[in-house]
Structure 1
Amino acid sequence: MKVTVELCSIEDKFIINNMYPLYLHDLSEVWERKTNRYGVFEEDDTRTLAEQNRVFDIWWEHPGVLFPYIIRVDDLPAGFALVATPPYTPCPRFIDYYLNEFFLLRNYRGEGVGEKAVRQLIGKMPGHWELQTNPTARNERAIKFWRKTLKACTNGEYTEETGNHLEEGEKLVFRFIHEDAE
């Protein structure tokens, strides 16, 4: 199984756009969110996925600052990772890279794809990293994934604490430093 992580071009952004509703559907279980009256996972009156995608375009409007990555397995799209740098990080003075979103399609989970993707991702960008996730029992699978993956990818050199996100409430915050670029 060949896992690759590649920066997504503007021409290929439709691939991430295609997977994004699946990601939001998965998150609806964790965050206990419902669709709006149009069947879109948004809190406002976004009517179509095309409208939702226009908001999402910011990831391709700031090259060198925002990094949308496609995760592929044997050359097929398997997920995505969205990495932000300051000023789009929670703590711009202390964090170089913020893993804003990380998603794998369900049939690739539990196969080692996630760890391989994370290793490649952080290998591309040395510095101080942060990621946040829901700290509740509804998110136990993701919490276990991040603990196991970060232990393996950082030799256990990461921190974990509960923090408060201004818009989303309590979060489990992971931080680590990756010093070696590939």
Structure 2
Amino acid sequence: MKLKLVPIQEEEKEILRNLLEKYLYEFSQYDGGTVNALGLYGYSYLDNYWTEENRWAFFLKADGKLAGFAMVNDYPESGEKTDFCMSEFFVMYPYRKHGLGKEAAFALFDRFPGTWQLKYHPKNIPSVHFWNRVVAEYTHGEFRSVPGNSQFPYGDGSPGQVLYFTARKG
């Protein structure tokens, strides 16, 4: 599969909103998220990706087809100053286990060199394994893992696990 990171234009926001609903539904098994009166999870910061600086959203495309998305910003959640934060990252099921997620993550890290923070939910075991493996490989083991950051918990009260590392332009 050939991966392409495609910056999302404002007129494509509804496509991202639709994918976010799938992502948030899947994530609800870990954080206990529920839908609103309209049957939607909603994403409070979606519009901010086109109204504020330092927020970037990308479609992940595999062989020209939508395969997921990634959202990056410079708003660290852990209280420690970093240059970039992986806000959201989603690869749809048919595209998992093909190396697409790793390739997309590496491409994003290369695109945004600097210090990174990456927070993940400890109950999301596939994510725990994915991010630990990908960041370890990308940095050749040069990263710091901070388990149980209770300063910025998830909706279910679980403390986020945080990885800190430096991305160098590839």
How far apart are the structure 2 equivalents of 1:53 and 1:91?
20
Task: Determine which structure has greater relative contact order: mean sequence separation of CA pairs < 8 Å that are 6+ residues apart, divided by chain length.
Answer: 2
* Equivalent residue in structure 2 for 1:110, among 97, 101, 104: 97
Percent of aligned positions that are identical: 27
Quote how far apart the aligned CAs of 1:93 are: 6.3
What CA deviation, in whole Å up to 9, does each residue of 1:31-80 have, x standing for no partner? 12232343222xxxxxxxxxx468521111124x1111111111111111
Amino acid at match of 2:133: K
Identify if the C-alpha distance between structure 1 residues 166 and 153 changes in structure 2 by more than 3 Å, giving closer, same or farther. Answer: closer
Amino acid at match of 1:111: H
Quote how far apart the aligned CAs of 1:158 are: 1.4
Work out whether residues 78 and 151 of structure 2, in 8 Å CA contact, stay in contact via their aligned partners in 1.
no
Which residue of 2 is the match for residue 158 of structure 1? 143
Identify if the C-alpha distance between structure 1 residues 20 and 147 changes in structure 2 by more than 3 Å, giving closer, same or farther. Answer: same
Identify if the C-alpha distance between structure 1 residues 54 and 127 changes in structure 2 by more than 3 Å, giving closer, same or farther. Answer: closer
* Equivalent residue in structure 2 for 1:73, among 56, 62, 68: 62
For residues 23-42 of structure 1, the aligned pairs below 5 Å read 23-41=23-41
How far apart are the structure 2 equivalents of 1:66 and 1:124?
13
Gaps of 5+ in 1: 42-51
* Equivalent residue in structure 1 for 2:165, among 166, 169, 176: 176
**Number of residue pairs matched by the alignment:** 166
Identify if the C-alpha distance between structure 1 residues 171 and 113 changes in structure 2 by more than 3 Å, giving closer, same or farther. Answer: same
Amino acid at match of 2:8: C
CA RMSD of aligned residues (A): 1.9
Identify if the C-alpha distance between structure 1 residues 106 and 30 changes in structure 2 by more than 3 Å, giving closer, same or farther. Answer: same
Amino acid at match of 2:129: K
* Aligned partner of residue 49 in structure 2, secondary structure: helix
What CA deviation, in whole Å up to 9, does each residue of 1:5-24 have, x standing for no partner? 12211122222112010000
Work out whether residues 152 and 160 of structure 2, in 8 Å CA contact, stay in contact via their aligned partners in 1.
no
Which residue of 2 is the match for residue 62 of structure 1? 52
Identify if the C-alpha distance between structure 1 residues 55 and 90 changes in structure 2 by more than 3 Å, giving closer, same or farther. Answer: closer
Gaps of 5+ in 2: none
Quote how far apart the aligned CAs of 1:167 are: 5.2
Identify if the C-alpha distance between structure 1 residues 100 and 53 changes in structure 2 by more than 3 Å, giving closer, same or farther. Answer: closer
